[in-house]
A = this chain, B = another copy of it.
Amino acid sequence: MWTFDAFPTQRMRSDFGWAPDQAWLDRARLAAVRLTGGCSASFVSAEGLILTNQHCVAECLSDLSTPGNDLLAKGYVATRRSDERQCPGQQAEIVTGIRDVTGQMKQAIGAATGEAAVKARTAAIATIEKATCPDTVTSRCQVVSLYGGGQYKLYSYRKYSDVRIAWAPEDAASKFGGDPDNYNFPRYALDGAFLRAYENGRPVATPQHLRWAAREPVAGEPVFVVGNPGSTQRMLTMSQFAYQREVNLPVTLAMQSELRGRLIEAMGVDAERKREATDVLYGVENNLKRTIGRVKALNDSGFYASLAAREAELKAKSAGNAAIGDPWSEVATAMAALGAIDTQRRFSQPEGELFDYALALVRAAQERAKPNADRLPGYSDSALPLLEKNLLDPKPIAPWLEQLTMRFSLSKAREYLGADHPQTRLLLGRESPEGLAERLVEGTRLADPAVRRALWNGGEAAIAGSADPMIVYARAVEANDRRLQKIYDEQVDGPLTAARAKLADARFAAYGDSVYPDATFSLRITYGKVGGWTENGAAVPHRTTFAGAFDRATGAEPFALAPAFLANKAKLKLEGAFDMAYATDTIGGNSGSPVIDRNLNVIGANFDRNIHGLRNDYAYDMTMARSIGVTTAALEQALRFIYPAPALLKELHAR
């Protein structure tokens, strides 16, 4: 997960006999798209066409569906440009520049500690971002903290806030194998989709696109994955790993499992509910499986010992360096402080889209009244446009699902805080989680974008004067949240940031720049070879075929093949490649990333990693970990025979 300004050319050249030059890297960077929904993607035509995963557009398809017209289930093929439909909340971003602002940031923070350091950092970020990207309509700036505060880089983006869906297969094709096959390989998921970036109502010109190459992947060939890995935790100290293993993950595991159970049964009531919650359940199950992988990793005593050995080595190498001091103890102290407030922080508010709207509206009204540098992170002038888009884009709300999410999260707050905790009393009063959720969801009008817009435009006066029960409730819980944040900044974030900067220095001193920073949902590039691995003595091949999908199908969910597959089987080249595996270092957020060959051809869209990849959240080990992508060869067959889109095919092959 190298940053684009620190690609290890020498290392790759010595390992692979070849490495990309700066022109290659610039082209790949300019073709790489970040989707603000949490995915990656790439331009694959000169007319703004974007390749990503179906699971990255599933929420869009769900939002565009209506009773009786389930676009997620049926898939979507826009036969004409005018049929391409805007995805709520979706924005495409292309990195146009990276600048080191570490000196500026460290100067701004100076000798401040605790909350003061956090505030100084926030203010400096807001100021730098605003100064660099005054035009917030077409650009966005973001200061990214790397190595947990060891480096600060300013990323400038060209942004396109009108992104439309052009093509997606049936959900049964993309999610074939469902949760059982998730994080597994061999795999038969057609997890690809196309979006298009628009500006001023017209497709964007994107001459810097990747070349579409619908060819078979070759075992052993080098490939690159370019995208935005979300988050890794490889630089944690042992006190942080212990906290994960002993405190945090068990709670997460129980919560996600119960929510999954609640969703499955509540969705089972009727087809409409299933339509409304399918993509939500997908997200919950995906997160849960990742949590289970993390729990397994940290409970593997050999793996845990290797983490301890890694830390011991760094300590030993740093022993003579007085400037480093003992950041490990500082982290442990901060973690103890976190332990005292973590349950309160986790359960400081209910979950739900309507509540999120309410809280954002309440917060934004307060924050926007302040100078840019004094605001909470997320409310600076550079952050407001995307917040506003997410708040005001129309999208459907399912009241039953909102109630479920709220009553669930409120019941968990009571469970983990205890019925008598002051925060439980603040959240529930004398109501039950079920009763409160029902009252707020039935009473609020925030599902209407016009109501949200009026409150957004009305600012503090509108919020103060609102009798909407969700706004009233958000006003009541917001102050407690702010109080907890203050403690967190002072006792946890401030000290941790200072300690992490020292740890980063220790690593640079010990290992130079051979270790890249933890993932931060900013642009990275990783490379490796196409190939399977050896599992219990048996070789797992590097790719699957359409024939394999038909073999695996049982007719019963989630192993029922999509109807269009069955209907068009005769047309397919059954021995053609379907999904593929390759040894790159990817993680959530890399979904949709282009898999690129050395000639800047896109030969696949990354959508998953195998089960062995799950421990890579904590440590880099590519012995058995593999990334998984859908091949362009498979998408080409789909575009040609299964979900025909001749115009798209023509566009993809235009030279």
Contacts and interface: CB of A to CB of B under 8 A. Distances in A.
Contact of A253 (B179, B254, B264): B254
A82 interface: no
Given A262-B261, A419-B559, A430-B554, A299 B255 contact: no
B250 A295 contact: yes
A415 B261 contact: no
B414 A180 contact: yes
A266 interface: yes
A521 to B, nearest CB: 27
A250 B299 contact: yes
A238 to B, nearest CB: 11
B246 A177 contact: no
B250 A253 contact: yes
Interface stretch (A41-49, A431-439, A465-473, A613-621): A431-439
Nearest to A554: B430
A13 to B, nearest CB: 40
Of the listed residues A179, A180, A434, A559, the one surrounded by the most CB atoms of chain B closer than 10 A to its CB is: A180
A340 to B, nearest CB: 12
Contacts of A512: none
A557 interface: yes
Interface string A379-404: 00000000000000000000000001
Contact of A254 (B179, B242, B254): B254
A260 interface: yes
Given A257-B254, A261-B265, A557 B434 contact: yes
Nearest to A255: B257
A258 interface: yes
Nearest to A415: B180
A135 interface: no
Interface in A135-174: none
Contacts of A432: 554, 556-559
A539 interface: no
One complex includes copies of this chain to the number of 2
Contacts of A295: 250
Interface in A243-294: 245-247, 250, 253-255, 257-266, 268-269, 288, 292
A181 interface: yes
Contacts of A266: 265, 268
A247 to B, nearest CB: 7
A177 B258 CA distance: 20
Contacts of A246: 299-301
Interface in A502-537: none
A67 interface: no
Interface residues of A, number: 49
A418 B247 contact: no
A8 B269 CA distance: 58
Contact of A556 (B268, B435, B558, B559): B435
Contacts of A554: 430-432
B556 A242 contact: no
Nearest to A242: B301
Contacts of A559: 419, 432
A320 interface: no
A17 interface: no
Contacts of A68: none
Residue among A255, A261, A262, A266 facing the most chain B CB atoms (10 A cut-off):
A261
Contact of A262 (B264, B300, B404): B264
Contacts of A301: 242, 246
Contact of A258 (B242, B261, B431, B557): B261
Contact of A260 (B258, B300, B430): B258
Given A246-B301, A261-B265, A254 B292 contact: yes
Nearest to A434: B557
A380 to B, nearest CB: 38
A435 B250 CA distance: 32
A253 B435 CA distance: 27
A103 interface: no
A419 B556 contact: no
24 contacts: A180-B414, A180-B415, A180-B418, A181-B419, A245-B299, A246-B299, A246-B301, A250-B250, A250-B292, A250-B295, A250-B299, A255-B257, A257-B257, A258-B261, A260-B261, A261-B262, A262-B262, A265-B265, A266-B268, A269-B269, A419-B559, A430-B554, A431-B556, A432-B557
Given A180-B414, A250-B253, A430-B555, 16 more contacts: A179-B415, A180-B419, A184-B419, A245-B299, A250-B296, A254-B288, A254-B292, A255-B257, A258-B260, A258-B261, A259-B261, A262-B262, A262-B264, A266-B268, A430-B556, A432-B558
Listed from nearest, the 10 A-B pairs whose CB atoms lie closest are A261-B261, A257-B257, A432-B556, A246-B299, A258-B261, A261-B262, A430-B554, A180-B419, A265-B265, A265-B266
